[in-house]
Every structure is written in structure tokens, then in C-alpha cells.
Structure 1
């Protein structure tokens, strides 16, 4: 077999540590769920009616991944850099058009994550009917803790989720308040994508999102899953 050559080095494998294992979880895709808590949807002035609407998503590149505990520079192009605290679901088995009864079998584990957002750019794009990429899919915008294998946790239905900035609580809710729960999200996504091991689903953020500045320390927690931490550095 002829060895393949490339014009430059291919992109490295982006991965996360796994609790209790020396092996790391390679990340394939990052799916993010928009407006999946009623109170957050209201604060974003876009209420959700589950009876007439379905979930919607945006994607972050795997290259945006940042491991918990790091310091990232305040991003360019924004004056309104926001945190969004989320439960992250890690997919461990392939699935396409799965049923709600089988959805839990695709879950490898969970993590605590931050969907960092250039809010001003997102809102401009939203009002103009344009994609959100500049506001959401930018370098070092997907922060994630280690992956905790699901094990006996099964499919999470409840659990406190909260976030603090410099020790002051900003977000506080419960996973039971997700508009579309974990099973429903897996079922819905699998109607459009062949879900694969290494896919991450950021399941949505509660109300209380807000701006941070250089020097701020963000800490988040999901009961039964773990903690995430990010320090905002100076702009590059």
C-alpha cells in the first residue's frame, strides 16, 4: 500500500480525559442545543413552545475544544463575551433513527461544559437571519471537564446545574427543567445525523447568562457529573 502524503500535517485528534481511565475520549463533533430551558429562552426573548416546535442545533468544530482548568484569551471581535453552563452528553455507540427506548444505549458518559459565546455577534447574526458561526463556533469556545462514564447513572433526569463568576452564583437550575430531555435530544438528532462515538451534545443552558471580562474565573458544577473551570485571560 502506498503511504499517503499531505501538503501539511493533518489536524490532530482532539480528546478529553476519562475519569478512572488512562485512555482519552477522541472528540468527533460537538452538537449544541439552543434554548433548551424555558427561563433562558425567555431571557433571550425567544420563548419556546414544545408542542409546536422541535429542538434546534448549532455545531462547534472539535478544534474549539478547551479542557477544564485552562486560561483562554479574551476573544477578538466582541465586546460581550458570555458564559453558558451546560451538561454535556458523550456518545459512545453509533446510532441512526434510534427510538426513545434505545437512546440511552448510545450514551458513554457525561461532562460539565461551557458554551462560550460572542453574544453581540450572535445577536447581530440572529436579527439578520444569518448563521451564528462568528458568535458560537470560534477558537477555544467549547470548554469541557473530564468525561464521567455513565455506568449506573444511566440517563440523567435530574441534578443541580450551576455556575459562578469569581465565586458569585450566576446560574442555578436543575436538569429536570430541560425542555427536551437527553433521550429526546438523541432521538431527534439521530433523525438527521448518524451519531458516532465521540460526538458530544451540549444540552443547553439555564437562565442567568452574562458577560465576563479579562481576569474573571468561571466555575460550574453538575451534580453527579463534576466541575468545570475557566479563567479569562487578556486579549491577544
Structure 2
């Protein structure tokens, strides 16, 4: 399957049906969990009117449900994932805690499915979902630790389309704040240091820094998997130090 620039994957129309009924059962279970988390995040986002990290996560969750549905179709199997009812969270902190728990529950299941996948296309699709789910955990975990501000200084509005500090999964180094207060723009070396800090703090041993290029107002950095596949591209704003996904 090809990874499109916007993070979309083309799932092949036809794939060999998996021989392991246990594997198929586990894929059905994860589809139910993905539908559950999508419904939960959508409900929480509306209830608490919170932009981040929901606006990054929800479109990807929609993709996950779609892609797994497409896998079942490619196998010629029925997906039948039911959507369980959502939890009525009383506070945003409760919502973040539940999100962290839900994402944590998904990761080992995806790891198992990827490892036991019977064809390469299936493994690739599920591996992309696994990578994105790891980001989701990092983001919700960060939101929980940072409180409601999500790494933004108070009084700084989030403009439309501004993904801002969602990359700040650091411990004590806020990307959400202005990275430097000297008023001078960030240079390539600093951009590289910031990205290395970020990757170190994401505690994900499978990711590493790729090429960084100057795009004028920002630096564009590639985040690679161990096998040198691109997992994400990010822009680092030279003036503010904000890091956001290029997709």
C-alpha cells in the first residue's frame, strides 16, 4: 500500500484471506475498539469544546476505522464491528485519562497483529495505524500532564489550522512556549536539537530523525522508522519554534 502525502493509505482491493481465525477475531476486536475510541473522542471534543489534541487524532481515527474495514473487504470477510456506548466524562482530565487508557490498550494488540500478519500489505497498513496510535498516546499523555493549556502559553489563541505544540511530548521542555526569547530566528542546528529532544522524549525506539531542509519560514524535518520509511514530516517555525505536522 502506498502512503499518500496526506497520510492516507491505499488498501489493495483484494488480499488473501487470513488462515488464522484467532488473528481475524483479534482484528474484529480492534475494529470495535477503534470505533469506540472514535465515538468517545468525538463526544469529548464536542462536550469540552477542546481543539487539541482531538483535531489531530479524530481524522486519523476515522482513517483507522476505514482502513480496517477495507482490509475485511479485501479478505472477502464481514467486519461487523459494533460501536459500544461512550462514557460520559465529567471533566476534561477524565477524558484525557480515558484516552490514554484506550490508546494504551490498542498498542500491544496492533503489535501482535503486525507481527502475526500473513501478508506484507496487511502488515504495512496495520503498522501505519500502530505508528499513528503511538503518536496519539504521546499527545494525550502530554495533554494530561500539561493540563488544559496543551503546551500553549495562556492567552495565545489557536488560530484555525494551527496545530501548534502538539509535538511537545517532552519532559519539561515546552515546545508550546516560545522556544527562544531572544527574538532571533531558529537556525538549522537548533531545529535539529529540538527534533532530537522531541524524539528522545517520545520514548519510541523505532523512530529517528531524517533529513532537515530549509523551506523559508520554517525547517522541514523527516521522522523515519528504523527501516528508513517516513513516519511523519514536521515543520518547525523559525520565528516561534512551533512544531507541527507537515501533512
TM-score norm. by structure 1 comes to 0.22
- Which structure carries more helix by proportion? 2
- Which structure carries more strand by proportion? 1
- The structure with higher relative contact order (CA 8 Å, sep 6+) is 1
Larger radius of gyration: 2
